[in-house]
Amino acid sequence: MQTHYDWIIIGSGFGGSVSALRLVEKGYKVLVIEKGKRFGPGDFPANNWDLKRWMWMPGLGLQGIFQMSFMDHVTVLHGVGVGGGSLVYANTLPTPKEDFFEARSWAHLSDDWQAELRPHYATARRMLGAAENPRETEGDRVLESIARDIGRHEHFHRTEVAVYFGKPGVRVPDPYFGGEGPERVGCTFCGACMTGCRVGAKNTLDKNYLWLAERRGLTLISETEVTAVRPQAAGYVVEAVRSLPPKKRGIRFTADKVIFAGGVMGTMPLLLAMKADKKGLPKLSDRLGEAVRTNSESLIGVIAPDHEEALSKGVAITSILHTDPHSHVEPVRYGNGSGFFRTMVLPAAPGDSLSQRFVAMTKSLMAEPKKWAKAFAVEDFARQSQVLLYMRTLEGTLRMKLGRSPFTGFRKGLMTVLDDPSQAPKAFMPEATELAQRFADKVGGVTATLLTETLLGTPSTAHILGGATMGRHAYEGVIDKDHQVFGYDGLYVIDGSAVSANPGVNPSLTITALAERAMSKIPSA
């Protein structure tokens, strides 16, 4: 393998994959470095009890696509592997509303972000194979009933998702790229999108952007983690090690230019470490790690032990109800048999303190002891449960830094800080709690949250964003409006870290569109 490239991209998620294809198309020699493994449909687990193939904890021999990072003020759910978060995300591709494009945090950097990004959103939808979910599920019928109850029926609609529907289970030649892409198989609506699509219907990045890039000359190495990026006389040195045991001697590459695209949970610790390293990137903006956002979301499970119709059928997210101009809720599901989260939930118990949450949990258990006993003992947890994902565009931020805390095992690692507690993400939001209870009442269920929320009051997010946001100069942001890092020519951040406002919706389409725009600014080789 050659060791010098025109561009090195760290990470193969939505930002990295887009960048890889567009740069190769422009005639550059490009290397993508991904710490996770490469997966084919047959490599994914049948359900999330197969921790070795689902969870990413390589030190314990778990080499899957899903990672949970427990932090001081938020629990982050994120993806690992060739294709990044696309392997584990819920396929949903909404475009944010005007609030996002007009947010004070970045609106001044463009005459009109919405107009400027519109063609790039269109390209992203085409590349990701966006299509409207064609099938109504039990969860949709319940949510639509709630929409009628609260007078918002006209604001209920089906999702646009990155899935090939076709004929269920039928394999066809590439339907997207004139035969240049891989064969696809029609979705079977099994609900297993987030444990990895074993059917071959989910339009993950290894089936579009990366597939096309590799056939145009992209070099991609997996199971390799970047540990340092250092400037040299011309360009940069990129140091890496094998991410899976046994770890071998480090690998060294050089590049004229480098893109950080490892998502917040990959890019932030690397950039923060390099800023602290005098031989690394000490001139990085002091704004690094600030303005981290969580989409202001809430994840509340509904367990319905006696409900007859399966809640697990359909794609991962099938519909959306906009409850007001700033908020919406979506029903989320896992496929039959994926009941791992039953080991990590407790009754939903809103409260500002542990004592308040303990009282609320006790009341919930005592009010319906038989139903809770059935809920905890239900045979197929996924079949009898639905997650209500509530999101809003209203802002709430925190800061990331390297430090020691109980959640890093008191080793130096990525941790969160609250500079302004009033701006902190919240574990419990009254409207989210009310919507989940309405859903539970209609299916004869009970509501539950991750034990970190019930016990610690720590919110959870699958959409961590920010930390290397845009600005006019280094005093205002880490990168400029074209994603180039202030103080370092040829360094870019193109992933969720660069998202500079709260989209209030599933952000994958937005990250893809931003990456398309960033690459449109790069001249051909």
Q: Which are the catalytic amino acids? A: 463
Helix (H, G, I), strand (E, B) or coil at 276: helix
**Phi, psi (deg, nearest 5) at residue 151:** 70, 30
User: H helices within 252-400, ranges in order?
Assistant: 264-276, 354-367, 369-377
Q: Do 55 and 10 meet the contact criterion of CB atoms below 8 Å apart?
A: no
User: Rounded CA gap, 268 and 254, in Å?
Assistant: 21
CA angle 217, 222, 224 (to 5 degrees): 125
User: Rounded CA gap, 332 and 327, in Å?
Assistant: 16
Residue 57's DSSP bridge partners are 62
In the chain, count of helices (H) and strands (E)? Answer: 12, 26
User: Rounded CA gap, 283 and 517, in Å?
Assistant: 26
Largest CA distance in the chain: 70
Q: Do 255 and 238 meet the contact criterion of CB atoms below 8 Å apart?
A: yes
**Count, residues in the chain:** 525
Whether residue 246 is preceded by a cis peptide bond, meaning omega within 30 degrees of 0, is yes
**Phi, psi (deg, nearest 5) at residue 390:** -110, 130
Residue 258 is inside which H or E element, if any?
strand 251-260
The pair of structure tokens assigned to 276 is: 């602290």
**Segments of 146-250 assigned E as strands:** 156-158, 160-162, 171-172, 184-185, 219-221, 224-231, 236-242
Give me the amino acid identity at 330: E
User: Rounded CA gap, 483 and 415, in Å?
Assistant: 24
The pair of structure tokens assigned to 383 is: 């079949």
Give me the amino acid identity at 202: K
Query: In angstroms, what CA-CA distances link 101 with 88, 98, 324, 455, 500?
Result: 27, 5, 18, 36, 10
Helix (H, G, I), strand (E, B) or coil at 425: coil
The pair of structure tokens assigned to 225 is: 């983690």
Q: What is the DSSP string of 91-147?
A: -B-PPP-HHHHT-TTTGGGSS-HHHHHHHHHHHHHHHTTEEE-----HHHHHHHHHH
N-terminal to C-terminal alpha carbon distance within the chain: 21
